[in-house]
Amino acid sequence: MICFYQYAVDRLTPQRRSWNMSRIRGSDTGPEKSVRSLLQRMGFRFTLRRRGLPGRPDIVLPKWRTAVFVHGCFWHQHAGCRNAVMPKTRPDFWAKKLQGNVMRDEATTRALKDLGWRVITIWECELKQVDQLQRRLKRVLRGRAKR
């Protein structure tokens, strides 16, 4: 288990945090859109938020039996990421809330894997280096036979 108190310094400004909050609502967030257009450029066919799958994955590639989540680094506590710092104010509240998100993510991943799905988590910060992300996606997706 990750110790959430290791993120002692709050480097998020209030503006930045409300920006982050606005991004986790709805399905059409900027990061998710970027990933979709990247996958499109790479020639992968996908569907969005298919019902009936645990955790309602952001993007689903049925042919590759792969579920993709696009996660904000703060809300889903990207381990070791500088965007995942714990706010200094109300530490108990945040620790509980963010830890809940992480535990939910883990449970979702397990449930999907149990159903035979592969799970790819893309972190928001990865979108700053699209070439690298593209290589990772290609490597992971090609590593599995089509159905």
Q: Among 24, 85, 125, 140, which residue interacts with Zn ion (rule: CB under 5 A)?
A: 125
Report how far residue 19's alpha carbon sits from residue 86's, in angstroms, rounded to the nearest whole number: 16
Nearest 5°: the CA angle 15, 72, 82 is 75
Q: Are 79 and 6 in contact (CB under 8 A)?
A: no
Residues from 75 through 114 that contact Zn ion (CB under 5 A): 78, 81, 83
Distance CA 142, CA 140 (A): 6
State which residue, 47 or 132, has the beta carbon closest to Zn ion.
132
One character per residue 52-81, x = contact with Zn ion (rule: CB under 5 A): ---------------------x----x--x
Q: Is residue 123 a contact residue for Zn ion (CB under 5 A)? A: yes
**Binding stretches for Zn ion (CB under 5 A):** 73, 78, 81, 83, 123, 125
